[in-house]
Amino acid sequence: MIEAWPAADVRAAEEPLLAAGVPLMERAAFALAAVVRRDLARRRAVPGPDGGLVEGSVRGARVALLVGAGNNGGDALHAGAFLARRGLAVTAYLADERVHDGGLAALRGAGGRVVVVDAGAGAAPSAVATEVAGGAGGAGGASAAGAGGTAGAGADVVLDGLVGIGARGPLRGTGAAVVAALLEALPEPGDPARPWVVAVDVPSGVGVDDGTVPGPVLPADRTVTFGAAKPGLLLPPATHLTGAGAVIDLGLELAGTGAQAAASARRPAVVRLEDTDVARAWPVPGPADHKYTRGVVGVVAGTATYPGAAVLASSAAVRAGAGMVRYQGPDAVGQAVVAARPEVVTAGGRVQAWVLGPGFPAEGDDDGQRDRARAALAAASGLLPGAGAPVPAVVDAGALALLDHRCPGWVVLTPHAGELAALLRSRGDDVDRAAVEAHPLRWARRAHELTGATVLLKGGATVVVGPGPTAYAQADAPGWLATAGAGDVLAGLLGTMLAARSAEVVAHPERAAEIAAAAALVHGRAAERANPGGPVAALDVAGALPGTVAALLALR
């Protein structure tokens, strides 16, 4: 798993090392330069003796450093000095008159070129962008002392060292002007003429601790972050601007050491599960298991008007490995479900988890589904006398409007941004879909505070907030998964995963968030498996679940 720690925790962990004179910046910069060199060598791959490709030479490659006023800029300058000593042509564009002295001296000492950027005596941001992008008449004419620029040949790589964990608010000043000009001047992403963009620590201008994108940000192809990942690298929308990641270990003790770690209240703010985490936690049946120990999933979904959601949610629950699936709903829908999945039963009875809401409306004609879902939710929440032990529940789509009481953390809501906005508005918050999409973590946390439930907020990346201290942020879904019925499949999949650990989740409600995050990962992997790199139909995603789970278990 990838653990992300707030900027303040990273700074606190750096302090003792800095006080002890540990050269953290040089360590960070050296590692950054190594990643840049490797990425460049791979982008310059050439045919090898055996017909394959081998890494190409990076000598002479053109490197543009975007340098801000703080230590983030210092990292970029020191990395530029390492690269210049390896024969790369490095130009630092200083976006602030305050610049890291040691880094600037190191770059100059290594023969790097320095261009002061400002709208006055220095190079204009537009001229810098033109030079970096490879247009004619760049900032070469305004270059400070040092090797002359190569007018016309743009940069091969750009290091974004404008601002790091010291950022406050949207990118401003000359740095913002340079980024805005680059967003205009650079070739489109995917164009081979576009330079490789490497964000130093974080893409400059993202919300380091909340993943917001309050202003202009230069999208990165790679983010090299130091000490630990930051929440903003995992959280949407900023996570879509980070490119591939690389975490450089600086020897920071974030959770403390030994007894301190055990006692420390410090936990990562955000976690991203990886395949091996999900594989290790997946419940694999043993010889003593039977369908009831594996978990029975109750599905209240679909209506005569929208039977498909019932088929999709039930199919996903079956294919994900439920011990048994009980479909509850109109006979006609039950017949459609059984026709599609003969393993499903329509008789009532005990379940270990409920899936409520796919495919039925929050109001209007629902064939009695809202009443069925309301009763199931009450039973799941332990509010229905005689209904047996409480069990986890997935509350999706039309069932979200049924939340008229505070829920325990083992109830998991699975709204998209519009549904979450509607839920929050129904509780008096003035928020719309766009606001939720701009700040998913904030609003998912707000929904958890208001309802008590665990909240899985669906979107290009998935955010999960529950009763525990750690949020989850998964970005495993291909864009193709934005298709009708995908949410129904996720609900059924999640129901099966909760049913398999029903008693455990009720006893430890904070674990529902991790299971929900794992479901988001499996959902994304199944979509990829259903049709790698191309469009997928929701039912095919459900169909790919068995193979997806088997592939994950093979990693154990």
Size of site (CB under 6 A) for ligand LZDS7PUF: 27
Structure tokens at 515: 């299971």
Contact map string, positions 40 to 79, toward ligand LZDS7PUF, x by CB under 6 A: ----------------------------xxxxxx-x----
Options 102, 111, 146, 166; binder of ligand LZDS7PUF; rule CB under 6 A: 166
| Partner whose binding site includes residue 169, from ligand LZDS7PUF, K ion, none (CB under 5 to 8 Å by kind) | ligand LZDS7PUF
Using CB atoms, what's the residue nearest to ligand LZDS7PUF?
A: 164
102 vs 546, which CB is nearer to ligand LZDS7PUF? 102
Query: Candidates 122-130, 163-171, 324-332, 498-506 — which segment interacts with K ion by CB under 5 A?
Result: 163-171
Cβ proximity to ligand LZDS7PUF, 103 vs 452, nearer residue: 103
Q: In whole angstroms, how close is the CB of 322 to K ion at the nearest point?
A: 46
**Residue 459's binding partner out of ligand LZDS7PUF, K ion, none, with CB under 5 to 8 Å set by partner kind:** none
On whether 168 is known to bind a ligand per the annotation, the reply is yes
Pattern 194-213, K ion, x by CB under 5 A: ------x---x---------
For 401, list phi and psi in degrees, rounded to 5. Answer: -80, -5
Q: 3-class DSSP state for residue 297?
A: strand
Q: How many CB atoms lie within 10 A of CB 375?
A: 16
77: exposed, middle or buried (Cβ count in 10 Å: 0-12, 13-18, 19+): buried
- List 165, 254, 497, 542, residue binding ligand LZDS7PUF (CB under 6 A): 165
**CB of 384: closest distance to K ion in angstroms?**
53
201 binds ligand LZDS7PUF (CB under 6 A): yes
Please say which residue, 72 or 369, places its beta carbon nearer to K ion.
72
Is residue 173 within the footprint of ligand LZDS7PUF (CB under 6 A)?
yes
Site for K ion in 358-397 (CB under 5 A): none
Per rule CB under 5 A, count of chain residues that contact K ion:
5
Instruction: Tell me if 462 is assigned to a ligand binding site.
Output: yes
Q: Please tell me whether 75 is known to bind a ligand.
A: yes
Report the 3 state secondary structure along 489-526.
Answer: HHHHHHHHHHHCCHHHHHHCCCHHHHHHHHHHHHHHHH
- What does the DSSP assignment read for 64-86? EEEE-SSHHHHHHHHHHHHHHHT
Binding ligand LZDS7PUF (rule: CB under 6 A), the pick from 82, 93, 196, 226 is 226
Amino acid (one-letter) located at 455: V
Question: How many Å apart are CA 43 and CA 198, to the nearest integer?
Answer: 13
CB atoms within 10 A of CB 52: 8
CA distances from 509 to 45, 406, 435 (A): 50, 14, 28
DSSP-assigned states of every residue in 40-63: HHHHT-EE-TTSSEEPPP-TT-EE
140 marked ligand binding residue: no
- DSSP string for 161-227: ES-STT--SS--HHHHHHHHHHHHHSPPTT-TTSPEEEEESS-TTS-TTT----S-----SEEEEES
**Beta-bridge partners for 325:** 297
Residue 326 CA: distances (Å) to CA of 339, 349, 550: 14, 8, 24
For ligand LZDS7PUF, which is the closer residue by CB, 140 or 268? 268
Q: Which does 69 bind (CB under 5 to 8 A by kind): K ion, ligand LZDS7PUF, none?
A: ligand LZDS7PUF
Determine phi and psi for 89, rounding to 5 degrees: -90, 105
Q: What are phi and psi of 544, to 5 degrees?
A: -90, -5
Closest to ligand LZDS7PUF by CB, 175 vs 231, is 175
Q: Select from 18, 153, 383, 484 the one that contacts ligand LZDS7PUF (CB under 6 A).
A: 18
Residue-by-residue DSSP string for 355-403: EE-TT--SSS--TTHHHHHHHHHHHHTT-STTS-S---EEE-GGGGGG-
Q: Which partner from the list K ion, ligand LZDS7PUF, none does 71 bind, CB cut-off 5 to 8 Å by kind?
A: ligand LZDS7PUF
User: In sequence order, which residues have a C-beta less than 8 Å from that of residue 19 and are 6 or more positions away?
Assistant: none
- Closest approach of ligand LZDS7PUF to the CB of residue 359, in Å: 45
Amino acid at 200: V
Q: Which two tokens stand for residue 232?
A: 């903003």
The single-letter code of the amino acid at 260 is Q
Q: Which residues are annotated as a binding site for (6S)-NADPHX?
A: 71-75, 164-170, 201, 309, 359, 416, 488
Q: Which residues are annotated as a binding site?
A: 71-75, 160, 164-170, 201, 204, 309, 359, 416, 458-462, 487-488
Residue numbers of the site for ligand LZDS7PUF (CB under 6 A)? 14, 18, 24-25, 28, 68-73, 75, 163-173, 175, 200-201, 226
Residue numbers of the site for K ion (CB under 5 A)? 72, 160, 164, 200, 204
